[in-house]
Amino acid sequence: MKTAIYPGTFDPVTYGHIDIIERACTLFDRVIVAIAQNPAKKPLFSVDERKEMILAATRNLKNVEVDAFEGLLVEYARLRKAQAIIRGLRAVSDFEYELQMALMNRNLNEDVVTVFLMPHEKYVYLNSSIVKEVASYGGDVSQLVPDFVLRKLREKFAGNANAGVKRL
């Protein structure tokens, strides 16, 4: 069984993430969407909330599992008996960082390969940080995330003092 891990913070999951997951599902028997707990990042959603959103977004994909981990990705891959790490490349600006990570991961574990997948071109500009920022100001992100994620974002930002535009 060929297993791939698609790691990320998924804070929140977007249509860009879902597109990459769907593409990975056509290439691998099992795709583990692995929520990385990065102490340097301050997520808006808890791990459980992110798991719930990813499960809802992938419920129609039979070969997807959702998990969370902390520590080295290649060690997690070894633990889950994965042969590949999936990384999405949106733009050329992503490439240098992703290449460095792929080479470091190969240095740490030559048995795991990194597979780069490009999302549909309508998602190349999309990332979770942009979605959160726009949502925090009351902007419309309904074309960027599933409805259940949109509801969660609205709940988080309900009564947000940042919403709207103010002249200074």
Measured from the Cβ of residue 6, the count of other Cβ atoms closer than 10 Å reads 26
Catalytic residue, candidates 41, 120, 151, 154: 41
Structure-block tokens of residue 74: 């290649």
Nearest CA to 63 out of 17, 34, 29, 24 is that of: 29
| Collapsed DSSP state (helix, strand, coil) of residue 9 | coil
Would residue 51 show up in a list of annotated catalytic residues for this protein?
Answer: no
Task: From 35, 85, 135, 96, select the one nearest 143 (Cα to Cα).
Answer: 135
Contact of 123 with 19, CB cutoff 8 Å: yes
Catalytic residue (choose from 51, 87, 90, 152): 90
**DSSP type of residue 120:** P
Is 30 considered catalytic here? no
Which of the following is catalytic: 30, 51, 128, 152? 128
Active site annotation includes 128: yes
Active-site residue flag, 90: yes
Q: Which residues pair with 36 in a beta bridge?
A: 69
The catalytic site residues sit at: 17, 41, 90, 128
